[in-house]
Amino acid sequence: MKDGEIVRPVESGGHGPFAPMIDPFGRAVTYLRVSVTDRCDFRCVYCMAEDMTFLPKREVLSLEELDRLCTAFIEKGVRKLRLTGGEPLVRKGIMNLIRGLGRHLDSGALEELTLTTNGSQLSRFAGELYDCGVRRINVSVDTLDAQKFKAVTRWGDLGKVMDGIRAATEAGLKIKINMVALKDVNEHEIVTMLNWCHDQGHDLTLIETMPLGEIDGDRTDQYLPLSTVRARLAETFTLTDIPYKTGGPARYVTVEETGGRLGFITPMTHNFCESCNRVRVTCTGQLYMCLGQNDMADLRDPLRASEGNDVLNAAIDEAIGRKPKGHDFIIDRNSRQPAVSRHMSVTGG
């Protein structure tokens, strides 16, 4: 076996023998987000501290385990799979995993395989991603100002990211830019970002900062309600609500003046829990039924308990049976601690 090569177990045919996953509130779970690593080559100020201690490699699922885990969820009704991190493209051998998971696109069991990236490695991997069946990616870019980009990401190079975005576009990948709206940091650049994205043919999604993990600053100094942002944009642009969905939590509008789409992810001002179809698995195999809750189920031990998936499937079913109705995010001066102690890079962006 070559280094990093995926050796897959024999799988059941078709779309799997299992009933779809339905949570206690009648929502079908059809979307899985999997963090393949907690490591990242950036240190974004709203995401993690600059001096991070990452997980020991022995605690992180192997590529083979990640493949098996994703396949189990696909057999149980997942139709959209997103790989996240950290930065997923810094994981050694990651393209072997992506190429292997592409077989579920070929069989029709999986409708979409995609990933969220900071763009730093896209110049290297864009063409291969397309060849593996990926057609759409999210790229996180919070500012088009190179100096400010460096300040926000601490370690990032905007020029390298832009080269990656161009390479992805040339490879045929559809791009959505994710921009975290930060008060007094990039709030006055949102119009510039909107015009650039739509001029390049990219969708733009704005995201409220979330109280996840200890950082080096105070999130009350970062938090910018997107209700305020939308009201400001409406003074310049004609925003029309549309039913467009990508499977995630964003609510979309069309911007009549540009002809492009703009999404809003608002976990603080207007949560999206009533239609939640998502669960997340960390790179250590912990299944979180809600991004904003601490309740989780360990899937690593069931994965490693036997070569068969009976124990794993039972653990997944038990966890889905306690998926909560919604999250409890709050950011205010009286809540100095994050609502959830784990960093976004652990759970997966």
Q: Which helix (H) or strand (E) holds 140?
A: strand 136-140
Burial degree of 219 (CB within 10 A; 0-12, 13-18, 19+):
buried
**DSSP character for 221?**
G
Whether residue 70 is annotated as binding a ligand: the answer is no
* Statement: residue 98 has pLDDT above 90: yes
Per-residue pLDDT, 215: 42
In total, how many domains does the chain have? 1
Per-residue pLDDT, 2: 47
Whether residue 290 is annotated as binding a ligand: the answer is yes
Whether residue 219 is annotated as binding a ligand: the answer is no
Please state the rounded mean pLDDT for residues 267-282. 76
Domain assignment present for 285: yes
First to last CA, the chain: 32
Task: Say which residues have a Cβ less than 8 Å from residue 218's Cβ, sequence separation at least 6.
Answer: 336
Per-residue pLDDT, 186: 92
Per-residue pLDDT, 217: 53
Whether residue 46 is annotated as binding a ligand: the answer is yes
Please state the rounded mean pLDDT for residues 128-137. 98
Domain assignment present for 25: no
Domain assignment present for 287: yes
Domain assignment present for 107: yes
Closest by alpha carbon to 161, among 96, 203, 117, 108?
117
Per-residue pLDDT, 220: 56
pLDDT tens per residue across span 18-72: 568 999 999 999 999 999 999 898 888 877 777 777 788 889 999 999 999 999 9
Residue 63 CA to residue 259 CA, distance in Å, equals: 41
Domain assignment present for 189: yes
Domain containing residue 211: 31-347
Residue 161 CA to residue 174 CA, distance in Å, equals: 15
Closest by alpha carbon to 102, among 133, 135, 63, 66?
133
Please state the rounded mean pLDDT for residues 185-208. 96
* Statement: residue 262 has pLDDT above 50: yes
Per-residue pLDDT, 12: 42
* Statement: residue 82 has pLDDT above 50: yes
Per-residue pLDDT, 210: 66
Domain assignment present for 130: yes
Domain assignment present for 276: yes
Chain mean pLDDT for the chain: 86
pLDDT tens per residue across span 276-333: 889 999 999 999 998 767 889 999 999 999 889 999 999 999 999 999 877 554 544 4
Whether residue 47 is annotated as binding a ligand: the answer is yes
Whether residue 280 is annotated as binding a ligand: the answer is yes
Whether residue 33 is annotated as binding a ligand: the answer is yes
Per-residue pLDDT, 46: 77
Would you tell me how many other CB atoms lie within 10 Å of the CB of residue 243? Answer: 6
Strand partners, 140: 178
CATH number for the domain harbouring residue 197: 3.20.20.70
Domain assignment present for 1: no
Closest by alpha carbon to 264, among 235, 293, 232?
232
Whether residue 132 is annotated as binding a ligand: the answer is no
Whether residue 349 is annotated as binding a ligand: the answer is no
Burial 111-135 (b: 16+ CB within 10 A, else e): ebbbbbbbbbbbbebbbebbebbbe
Residue 181 CA to residue 329 CA, distance in Å, equals: 17
